[in-house]
Amino acid sequence: MEDLAQEAFVKVWRALEQFDGRAPFEHWISRITVRVALDHLRKEKRRRNEIGLPELGADVLDWLRSDDEKNELDSRSAAEVLALALRELSPADQVVITMQEIEDRSVKEIAAATGSTGVAVRVRALRARAKLKRALEKIASTESRPANDR
């Protein structure tokens, strides 16, 4: 994660002369950092051979956001399940879902950061959630079967 932040800062520094002030500086930086993240996710997806899984669901996100110490093990398990399910999404879908569901960013903020329209962000998020849900259902059905049936 620190490597990505460093890469983003280096790209911002190198492109600083290109900033023309038409958009707010923070939006310009956000677009660069989103591109760095998307590039990283694309490389990661090509690097590993993944099993396709759909969407996670609200319960997993609730576990991830929980501050209850009793749920620490559940939170770690939920984070693993979330990471597994997110692998099924395209890098652009991952960015939108992460920004909207985990970082609680608005559609407008996501659109500005990704260079998309608000409608495109809403559609991408809707479709990504559906994929994520299917992935979670697949994971749940795999986990509920006896080990000798898998």
The model's pLDDT over 38-77, given as tens digits with 9 standing for 90+, comes to 888 877 765 554 333 334 455 555 545 555 555 554 656 6
**Stated pTM of the model:** 0.50
Question: Do 132 and 97 contact (CB within 8 A), yes or no?
Answer: yes
Lowest mean pLDDT among 17-21, 36-40, 105-109, 145-149: 145-149
Alpha helices in 48-117 (DSSP H): 58-65, 72-86, 91-97, 107-114
Alpha helices in the chain (DSSP H): 2-15, 25-47, 58-65, 72-86, 91-97, 107-114, 118-144
